Amino acid sequence: MTDPRRFYLHRTRDITGASGTGRVADGVLWTDGSASVRWRGEHGSVVHWDRLESAERVHGHNGATMLVWLDEAASSASGAGG
C-alpha cells in the first residue's frame, strides 16, 4: 500500500448504547498498516490502533458494525513508468 485509505464505521445495532447507529466513526488506514479512528457524536475521540484488525475486532460487535471503504485499494501493479 502506497497511500493512506479512508474508511468509516457503519453501525446497524448499538450494542453498548454509547455511539448510536449509522455512520459512527471516520478512519484512515495508514501505509504501515496502523489505523486512526475518529468517533463522531457528543463524546468524540480519536483512537490509534497498531493494526486495523484490532480495531475491527474490538468495535465490530460480531457484525453489528461494518467497515466501509471510501477509497479504492491501490493496485499492486500501478503501471507507473520510470
Structural domain containing residue 18: 5-69
Residue 75 lies in a domain: no
The DSSP string of the chain is --S-EEEEEEESS-SSSSS-SEEEEEEEE-TTS-EEEEE-STT--EEEESSHHHHHHHHSGGGTEEEEESSPPPPSS-----
Q: d(Cα 53, Cα 22) in Å, to the nearest integer? A: 21
Looking at the domain assignment, is residue 32 inside a domain? yes
Across all residues in the chain, what is the average pLDDT?
A: 81
Average pLDDT over residues 18-42: 89
Q: What is the pLDDT of residue 20?
A: 73
pTM here is 0.74
Query: Is 65 a member of any domain?
Result: yes
Count of structural domains, the chain: 1
Task: Return d(Cα 34, Cα 23) in angstroms, integer.
Answer: 21
